[in-house]
Structure 1
């Protein structure tokens, strides 16, 4: 059984919640957070383990738009369709049930909020991956031999920093 976080969302555990069905009465953010593992609150929303790949560190940024729409971004580069499918949901489940579509200014506001979420979430990723590379550089400077696992981790760090650069530059 998953443990409940102070805000009522489950944080971690072995039991899968991917078989839960969404209901129109359930807010979209709950549809998502209840299906994620390792959920942690952040200043801009939440982070969790990505449902589209085998994640050891939370790489999925989750935020709620002002209109109740859920914004998702995986810093490992997973596609939205894969992330949502891994939750047992469809992209439409990220939106609140509405009788009317969003207007142009509401869509622009959502894009701006998603961009802010991406920028806020990318900074801790850059900090951690830079630390990984710094540790490797220090080992090399001290003449230590690097293992295959170390080389693979450094390559992953470079890839994640490259993805963060794409997010920052291309938005």
Structure 2
């Protein structure tokens, strides 16, 4: 449960479907053979403790397997191969969840962020006020709007639409 349940396990869903929400807002589903708490697991160091930032709700009858954090870390210390295997599986699981969130994010006129591309464009918050003042300067008869767009490398582009 969000803000209450400690992050002390790593769990894998065997069957069923789980709904993930934050403050009542739907994020994504967890399906069989996906981890329930991979982002939380990956966000903490072995010595840190934390609490869930999301709420997980079973939408169907579910079965899952859970491993205690401390026991897993002891196993990983003994068997590096198992540690690497879990690291790859958890990383892949987190990527799948990010792609699920990516499908829900829209900007502008139906454009989507593509988290696979290293230089996706976004309108910076600081530029928004400048864009609005620039649009006022442009004559309404030209029907062109200027947008300042900054990519993740800090490069700026002017786009006319």
Larger Rg: 2
| TM-score higher than 0.5 | no
Normalised TM-score (structure 2): 0.36
Q: In proportion to residue count, which structure has more helix?
A: 1
More relative contact order in 1 or in 2 (CA 8 Å, sep 6+)?
Answer: 2
